[in-house]
Amino acid sequence: MTKEIKRNTWSKFCRQFSTANRYRKTNIIVSNKGHKNEIKAITYPFLGMSLMKKGRMIDGIQLYTGSWDANKITEPVAALKAPAKVVLEKDNDGRDKQLTIETSDGLKANIEMTDENGGDQYYSYIEKIAYSLYETRGYNPGNDQEDWYEAERRVKETEAEFV
């Protein structure tokens, strides 16, 4: 099932889509008319999307994935200026399958969800952030639980940006 998202609901849709698909593995492909496709993110967990605004006007849509760096755990992978159309495709079970964003100047982003559920990826993501904290401390043992809690805190803090 494919559905175009009405512009006046984009803000609400961004929050809902971000929450529903957080931590799912994604392929984000950005293409321009007449140019080669550019793959922006593979295997990193999807963290969210947000609207870029100028005053009350929507100026763009920004897509974020996770990063394994504990000091910068979210990575903006695409900023689509002047979005004109947002289309959501769901699979037969009603799960989000692909999101397409088209801009007025011909840029197109396809966000393809490559796994069924991001819940399993959440703990893997926390683990990688905790390991990054361990690396930052010079591989000194004995703080694994503190690293895990700190990684969870940072991830939860980042999640709040997309609610």
Find out whether 133 and 151 touch, Cβ atoms under 8 Å.
Answer: yes
Q: Taking the domains of the chain in order of start, what are their residue ranges?
A: 1-163
The pLDDT assigned to 135 comes to 92
pTM summary value? 0.84
The pLDDT assigned to 37 comes to 63
Q: Quote the CA–CA distance of 159 and 15 in Å, as a whole number.
A: 11
Is pLDDT larger for residue 101 or for residue 69? 101
Closest CA to 125 of 57, 65, 64: 65
The residues near 36 (Cβ < 8 Å, ≥ 6 apart) are: none
Positive or negative, the CA dihedral 161, 73, 44, 125 is negative
When mean pLDDT is compared across 6-20, 60-74, 113-127, 149-163, the lowest value belongs to 113-127
- Does the pLDDT of residue 13 top 90, yes or no? yes
Query: For the CA atoms of 87, 90, 95, 98, what is the dihedral angle to 10 degrees?
Result: -50
Phi, psi of 35 (to 5 degrees): -120, 165
- The HSE-up count of residue 102 (CA atoms within 13 Å, CB side) is 9
Average pLDDT of the segment spanning 14-26: 91
